[in-house]
Chains A and B, each alone.
Chain A
């Protein structure tokens, strides 16, 4: 090869490599301000973000030949990214992480530029406030279509919020299989850690899967002394105990209502499960009161839950309760209650009213106490308890010290805002929202500051910002944890498919409740 041809070849190679590595963008000069309002998807404008969050990639919803996004720290350090006419802005992960970590507690300024023809235009800047406190790095959820009665493929997944990695916790069968089809739901963790976790399997191979300290087992908590199966769980913060609700649930479908579906309980009680001894006990077994959504306080000496008072008297059969629930679905309102718990005697105290939602014409669900024990977070809607199907539902908080109850206005939207979980440091809340389109649930994150106020919520970031526009499934039950699920999907599959569930024994525990 002659020297000239060598140079020519190397130049070509260099040009190829440079092209292959992607274009670098610079901040345009000689820009004019645009009169158009900036629209980006997801909406990441003027929000508070964790310092360890993955890059907030977004899409500029505007017509343009090119786009540039610049994020500048007070120190002058900046990151720049750009896009062609698609408007998809992706930030370099390393640059992003470095910028955020070096600017904790600081406000970053983001500016978007758009090129039309030969002229660059600039939108008004917005801020990204980097919080001091990180968010728990792992978010678990179930992916399932916002369907009605039928299901096919669904699964539990765990996303690393510091990047875009997704780990499959468990997926059911991917192909039609009448003999093996099953649903999975109600995943739950003890004290923001995956060392102890559980989820339910419904249908074929049914049971409750409990995984702790490397061991997975399947149990069947159902017992003749209980109303029904164990449903909504809450793990004691330290001990190997779980309080479940036991619900009889059905669905009815509207013919002329945008809410589309009404998920009705026609009976529910609270039960206590001792995972060490495989014993279940009734905590509250009442016919006229329907108790649900138990939640332990972080101190472990109290539970919070919701209850709806009905006018039913005595033990009545489903043939009475079902029509009752359907007829009165708009009147069924759940209050927030609490009961003390003595760890040593394993005794529950008397139920006490925490918030009389019914008196305000409202209904509560999913109470969750903040890790510092100061706030009770819950969803309020106009009626009922399965608020993911109620457009009126919003997040509320009660200050347990002052008794003040107020909505998290900055985080709420005009559409469904429901199912929420705290981060272990109590500064972040992940919750389910249908604000995008009213039907497909997406996980939103909001910062909860020391004054007890939430800030504008933002959607969990995706590598391709169009991901959530294209996904035909909903994100259910977002749960934040500090650590990753240490099990492989195959381990769960082995237990689900190949083991018979351990039958739980019934044991009475003492409680001071009034009622049968």
Chain B
């Protein structure tokens, strides 16, 4: 018995002995340590160089930096100008978003690292160290295009620089006082519980996810606008069209670049109404921090691609006066001068552009045009612009604003068929049916097939006088669609135009009467008119 008990005890003991290694193994369960700051760094990088890259790239284009005190005098002589300069300098890295993302995420990661050290965060609390960096990125996303429309885009770096400077000083003080060791940036913390580490890693991932969703939702208009501008620089018009069409509620800025892409590809009348026009508020503020409807964001480009070279120059110059030099605008000012034959002035602007780092390729492409005007007229993109130039002079004030719409609405002579198409498009957009009729005759004389939307607009105009409508003039299916449309619209009697538009758009998107009656409806809360900035008396 004793032997049995002993044996049992021994057995039990041996069972216990065999159970405890398993338990020990279970406790140490094989989660390796992860360099959490590296994870944070990679996620910041992913966000900056992939998710939000287009906006950051356009921020870099909407700034100016040169190692030239004269060119940078305005910035340098502003209080805190050196900080703005530093911000702009680092912003240059976003000429290549991968590089810019690397630099920005390095700053943000170091800030997190120092916060972690200074505040002696432990365990799960260490997840808090990345919150300021994510909060900063969230702020950047929330301001959307105001990143460079309202503010100096150098803010993308000079705020982290300030934070970095402050944290560095505090870290040094803490280090001196406490003599605590500061672990290197991407090292593994073998003291930490791996489970907690992985948990924190998941939190970082979650933060990244939330930020990305926020960016893709709230920043959707900014992202698409910036993406389209990037594509425009490369003359990739089809992709611009796709970007716009992928947006559920296209904003003004997105639609403006959509129109440019359609014009450049000769499809303005074919594709213009394939998107639903009811502009959401894009919350832009101008350089004087006043609510702005964003016309100055795209009007210069739209003027340019409408052949209105001098008005395009006008807006670009005004924006440089108000916001400082801006390489994006300088490029277009250069092109305006080239097309206008103002070679010495073009040379001056080219000088500014080539002083800015990383613009060598652009300069290399466009410099030869200074000395050889044939290169201007044979450049595919510029040739399309030149064929839309006005035939005669007039004053901008003779047309409603924005000029590229007002002019096209009014002009009755042009250099090319495309000029006629653009003019028709403007009349259609502004619901100017008499204007459409004025140009309808010219279109018929060209002997071309009538674009569908023009036919629909003519039908719409004609029904104002039903007795005199000759249905046989119109394509039968258009008449049928129109009848169906009107009867369906009648179902929503008593509802406002916006509501009807929403109800009918799935079936009738692209059908001009839908646009005419139920799209681009003025919003009382968001007045569609362009607001003119007032900054004191006009300059003599």
Write out the residue numbers on chain A whose beta carbons fall within 8 Å of the beta carbon of B5.
none
Q: Contact check, B537 vs A202: say whether CB atoms are below 8 A apart.
A: yes
Q: How far is the CA of A260 from the CA of B314 in the complex (A)?
A: 8
Q: A175-B78, A469-B351 are in contact. Are A183 and B396 (CB under 8 A)?
A: no
Write out the residue numbers on chain A whose beta carbons fall within 8 Å of the beta carbon of B110.
none
Instruction: Give the residue of A147, A254, A467 whose beta carbon is less than 8 angstroms from that of B321.
Output: A147
A174 in the interface (beta carbon within 8 A): yes
Taking the closest CB of chain A, its distance from the CB of B275, in whole angstroms, is: 28
Q: Contact check, B313 vs A256: say whether CB atoms are below 8 A apart.
A: no
Q: Contact check, B392 vs A249: say whether CB atoms are below 8 A apart.
A: no
By CB atoms of chain A within 10 A, which of B287, B317, B347, B390 has the most? B317
Q: A176-B289, A470-B68 are in contact. Are A258 and B321 (CB under 8 A)?
A: no
- Binding-face segment, A8-16, A432-440, A480-488: A432-440
A262 in the interface (beta carbon within 8 A): yes
Write out the residue numbers on chain A whose beta carbons fall within 8 Å of the beta carbon of B535.
150-152, 178, 181, 203
Write out the residue numbers on chain B whose beta carbons fall within 8 Å of the beta carbon of A250.
538
Q: A262-B395, A326-B395 are in contact. Are A256 and B290 (CB under 8 A)?
A: no
Instruction: Give the residue of A151, A258, A438 whose beta carbon is less than 8 angstroms from that of B539.
Output: A151
Q: Contact check, A152 vs B321: say whether CB atoms are below 8 A apart.
A: yes
By CB atoms of chain A within 10 A, which of B68, B392, B539 has the most? B539
Q: Which of B381-413 contact A (CB under 8 A)?
A: 389-390, 392-397, 403, 407
A185 in the interface (beta carbon within 8 A): yes
Q: Contact check, A254 vs B395: say whether CB atoms are below 8 A apart.
A: yes
What string of 1s and 0s marks CB contacts (under 8 Å) between B318-335 and chain A? Answer: 101110010000000000
By CB atoms of chain B within 10 A, which of A149, A251, A257 has the most? A149
Q: Which of A441-486 contact B (CB under 8 A)?
A: 464, 466-467, 469-472
Instruction: Give the residue of B320, B397, B539 whose beta carbon is less than 8 angstroms from that of A472.
Output: B320
B311 in the interface (beta carbon within 8 A): yes
B536 in the interface (beta carbon within 8 A): yes
Taking the closest CB of chain B, its distance from the CB of A253, in whole angstroms, is: 4
Q: A147-B317, A255-B311 are in contact. Are A437 and B536 (CB under 8 A)?
A: no
Q: How far is the CA of A153 from the CA of B539 in the complex (A)?
A: 12
Write out the residue numbers on chain A whose beta carbons fall within 8 Å of the beta carbon of B507.
none
B348 in the interface (beta carbon within 8 A): yes
Q: A145-B320, A260-B310 are in contact. Are A469 and B348 (CB under 8 A)?
A: yes
Q: Contact check, A386 vs B540: say whether CB atoms are below 8 A apart.
A: yes
Q: Which of B340-391 contact A (CB under 8 A)?
A: 340-342, 344-345, 347-348, 351-352, 389-390
Taking the closest CB of chain B, its distance from the CB of A441, in whole angstroms, is: 12
Taking the closest CB of chain B, its distance from the CB of A390, in whole angstroms, is: 14
What string of 1s and 0s marks CB contacts (under 8 Å) between A356-386 and chain B? Answer: 0000000000000000000000000000001
Task: Count how many pairs of residues, one from A and one from B, have CB atoms less than 8 Å apart in the complex.
Answer: 140
Q: Contact check, B393 vs A147: say whether CB atoms are below 8 A apart.
A: no
Write out the residue numbers on chain A whose beta carbons fall within 8 Å of the beta carbon of B202.
none
Instruction: Give the residue of A174, A254, A258, A467 whose beta carbon is less than 8 angstroms from that of B78.
Output: A174
Instruction: Give the residue of A153, A257, A469 whose beta carbon is less than 8 angstroms from that of B393.
Output: A257
Q: Contact check, B70 vs A471: say whether CB atoms are below 8 A apart.
A: yes
Residue of A nearest to B290 (CB): A178
Q: Which of A224-268 contact B (CB under 8 A)?
A: 231, 249-258, 260, 262-263
B71 in the interface (beta carbon within 8 A): yes
Q: A152-B322, A181-B536, A260-B314 are in contact. Are A438 and B393 (CB under 8 A)?
A: no
Q: Contact check, A150 vs B322: say whether CB atoms are below 8 A apart.
A: yes
A333 in the interface (beta carbon within 8 A): no
Q: Which of A114-137 contact B (CB under 8 A)?
A: none
B274 in the interface (beta carbon within 8 A): no
B528 in the interface (beta carbon within 8 A): no
Q: A174-B79, A250-B538, A437-B348 are in contact. Are A255 and B393 (CB under 8 A)?
A: yes
Write out the residue numbers on chain A whose beta carbons fall within 8 Å of the beta carbon of B74.
153, 472
A406 in the interface (beta carbon within 8 A): no
Instruction: Give the residue of A145, A149, A257, A437 whose beta carbon is less than 8 angstroms from that of B310.
Output: A257
Q: Contact check, A203 vs B537: say whether CB atoms are below 8 A apart.
A: yes
Taking the closest CB of chain A, its distance from the CB of B344, in whole angstroms, is: 4
A299 in the interface (beta carbon within 8 A): no
B486 in the interface (beta carbon within 8 A): no
Residue of A nearest to B345 (CB): A437
Write out the residue numbers on chain A whose beta carbons fall within 8 Å of the beta carbon of B394.
254-256
Q: A253-B311, A437-B344 are in contact. Are A151 and B317 (CB under 8 A)?
A: no
Q: How far is the CA of A381 from the CA of B156 in the complex (A)?
A: 49
Q: How far is the CA of A153 from the CA of B79 in the complex (A)?
A: 13
Taking the closest CB of chain A, its distance from the CB of B299, in whole angstroms, is: 13
A182 in the interface (beta carbon within 8 A): yes
A144 in the interface (beta carbon within 8 A): yes
Write out the residue numbers on chain A whose beta carbons fall within 8 Å of the beta carbon of B182.
none
A148 in the interface (beta carbon within 8 A): yes
Q: How far is the CA of A254 from the CA of B71 in the complex (A)?
A: 28
Write out the residue numbers on chain A whose beta carbons fall within 8 Å of the beta carbon of B269.
none
Q: Which of B294-325 contact A (CB under 8 A)?
A: 308-311, 313-314, 317-318, 320-322, 325
Taking the closest CB of chain B, its distance from the CB of A414, in whole angstroms, is: 11
Write out the residue numbers on chain B whose beta carbons fall within 8 Å of the beta carbon of A254.
310, 393-396
Instruction: Give the residue of A176, A182, A204, A258 whose beta carbon is less than 8 angstroms from that of B340.
Output: A258
Q: Contact check, B539 vs A149: say whether CB atoms are below 8 A apart.
A: yes
Write out the residue numbers on chain A whose beta carbons fall within 8 Å of the beta carbon of B396.
252-255
B533 in the interface (beta carbon within 8 A): yes
Q: Contact check, A203 vs B318: say whether CB atoms are below 8 A apart.
A: no
Q: How far is the CA of A255 from the CA of B401 in the complex (A)?
A: 13
What string of 1s and 0s marks CB contacts (under 8 Å) between A141-176 and chain B? Answer: 000111111111100000000000000000000111
Write out the residue numbers on chain B whose beta carbons fall within 8 Å of the beta carbon of A466.
70
Q: Contact check, A256 vs B390: say whether CB atoms are below 8 A apart.
A: yes
Q: How far is the CA of A174 from the CA of B324 in the complex (A)?
A: 12
Q: Contact check, A467 vs B70: say whether CB atoms are below 8 A apart.
A: yes
Q: How far is the CA of A360 from the CA of B156 in the complex (A)?
A: 60
Write out the residue numbers on chain A whose beta carbons fall within 8 Å of the beta carbon of B403.
255
Write out the residue numbers on chain A whose beta carbons fall within 8 Å of the beta carbon of B313.
260
Write out the residue numbers on chain B whose beta carbons fall within 8 Å of the beta carbon of A471.
70, 73
Taking the closest CB of chain B, its distance from the CB of A286, in whole angstroms, is: 21
By CB atoms of chain A within 10 A, which of B340, B341, B535 has the most? B535
Q: How far is the CA of A254 from the CA of B312 in the complex (A)?
A: 11
Residue of B nearest to A143 (CB): B73
Q: A256-B393, A472-B325 are in contact. Are A202 and B536 (CB under 8 A)?
A: yes
Taking the closest CB of chain A, its distance from the CB of B158, in whole angstroms, is: 15
B448 in the interface (beta carbon within 8 A): no
Q: A251-B538, A255-B394 are in contact. Are A439 and B342 (CB under 8 A)?
A: yes
Q: Contact check, A150 vs B537: say whether CB atoms are below 8 A apart.
A: no
What string of 1s and 0s marks CB contacts (under 8 Å) between A192-220 and chain B? Answer: 00000000001110100000000000000
By CB atoms of chain A within 10 A, which of B313, B344, B352, B390 has the most? B344
Write out the residue numbers on chain A whose beta carbons fall within 8 Å of the beta carbon of B79.
174-175
Residue of A nearest to B537 (CB): A202
Q: How far is the CA of A36 from the CA of B363 in the complex (A)?
A: 27
Residue of A nearest to B303 (CB): A255
Q: How far is the CA of A253 from the CA of B395 in the complex (A)?
A: 5
By CB atoms of chain B within 10 A, which of A178, A182, A326 has the most? A178
Q: Contact check, B539 vs A182: say whether CB atoms are below 8 A apart.
A: no
Write out the residue numbers on chain B whose beta carbons fall within 8 Å of the beta carbon of A439.
342, 345, 348
By CB atoms of chain A within 10 A, which of B79, B289, B390, B537 has the most? B537
- Extra contacts besides A255-B310, A255-B407 (18): CB < 8 Å: A148-B318, A150-B535, A151-B321, A174-B79, A176-B288, A183-B536, A203-B536, A204-B536, A252-B396, A252-B397, A253-B396, A253-B397, A256-B310, A262-B395, A386-B540, A437-B347, A470-B68, A472-B71
A-B pairs with lowest CB-CB distance, top 6: A203-B536, A202-B537, A437-B344, A470-B70, A252-B395, A147-B321
Listed in ascending order, the chain B residues whose CB lies under 8 Å from chain A are 68, 70-71, 73-74, 77-79, 287-290, 308-311, 313-314, 317-318, 320-322, 325, 340-342, 344-345, 347-348, 351-352, 389-390, 392-397, 403, 407, 533, 535-540
Of the A-B pairs whose beta carbons lie under 8 Å apart in the complex, a sample of 7, sorted by A's number, is A146-B317, A148-B314, A150-B535, A206-B537, A255-B311, A262-B395, A472-B71
